[in-house]
Amino acid sequence: MARQGFRRRRRPPDVRALVDQHLGAGDPTGWFEPLYAGAGDDADAVPWAGSVPHPYVTDWLDDPVATPSGSRAVVVGCGLGDDAAELARRGYEVTAFDVSPTAVAWAQRRFADLDISWRVEDVLELPDELLGAFDLVIEVRTVQSLPGVVRDAAMDAIGRLAAPKGVVVVVTLVATDTDIARAWQGPPWVQAPSELAVYRGSGLVRLALEHPEPDEHGAMEVRITWQRPEGTPPTEASIGGPGGLPIHG
């Protein structure tokens, strides 16, 4: 008989096996849906779910590097929705999307009291209606959970969500140098500092880069604030598909 008050913890998923299976089949994002579905509504079985907004996000909202010029916000790879809920509570008009239908339905149930536009979307195939549509773009730990083959395209797409004057806040794990990033066994796959230049390529300018000292592995979670300059609407993708090769020189 279960002891009163004792919550049985679901066995953590074998993330490595799921990642290997999907990456081996050429599907870099396919492992998220089975992971969420296998969690069976138990957030403890989702390795990254903290059930609270990321502290870098709350801290940014308390003391913004740049004040967004409007209230339209989007959360990329929203997972179980805590960052989206925080934005909605602070008065933003929030769109939140994730590639996993189970995550999106779960987030919607958790925050049914909040007026948030929840969507199932792949950041690698965004509909035109979302491009350039937001004053504030929040990306927390999505790019670092994607393998290198699609990362440039994901960062470029994230940048293109921002309207002119739109502000983009990125929270991601960054290595102190490229060799560390290259040797890193993910997920998450730590980003090389040079990779972040893709956001510039998508038309953004960097306003701030904030981070603690690197850890003993030579990595740190950074918060970068970017902005799309006024009068520069996002145009076509500057990054190609798999391989992240520049297609416009």
Ligand X SMILES: C[S@@+](CC[C@H](N)C(=O)[O-])C[C@H]1O[C@@H](n2cnc3c(N)ncnc32)[C@H](O)[C@@H]1O
CA separation for the pair 88, 115 (Å, rounded): 7
The residue (of 210 and 232) whose beta carbon lies closer to ligand X is: 210
In this chain, which residue has its C-beta nearest to ligand X? 77
CB of 6 to ligand X, least distance (A): 26
Quick one: how far is CA 173 from the chain centroid?
11
CB of 4 to ligand X, least distance (A): 31
Which structure tokens are listed for 235? Answer: 């145009």
CB of 3 to ligand X, least distance (A): 31
Sheet with 116-120: list strands edge to edge: 116-120, 93-98, 72-76, 134-140, 162-175, 219-227, 205-210
CB of 77 to ligand X, least distance (A): 3
* Phi (first) and psi of residue 205, to 5 degrees: -115, 145
The residue (of 126 and 167) whose beta carbon lies closer to ligand X is: 126
The residue (of 229 and 243) whose beta carbon lies closer to ligand X is: 243
The residue (of 100 and 227) whose beta carbon lies closer to ligand X is: 100
**DSSP character at residue 41:** T
The residue (of 163 and 169) whose beta carbon lies closer to ligand X is: 169
CB of 128 to ligand X, least distance (A): 16
| Coil, helix or strand at residue 95 | strand
The residue (of 29 and 95) whose beta carbon lies closer to ligand X is: 29
Measure Cα distances from 224 to 190, 209, 221 in Å: 15, 5, 10
Binding site for ligand X (CB under 6 A): 29, 32, 48-49, 54, 77-79, 98-100, 103, 122-124, 140-142, 145-146
Could you please report the per-residue DSSP string of 174-241? EESSHHHHHH---SS-PBPGGGGHHHHHTT-EEEEEE-----TTSEEEEEEEEEPPTT----S-SB-S
CB of 230 to ligand X, least distance (A): 28
* Residue 214 contacts residue 176 (beta carbons within 8 Å): yes
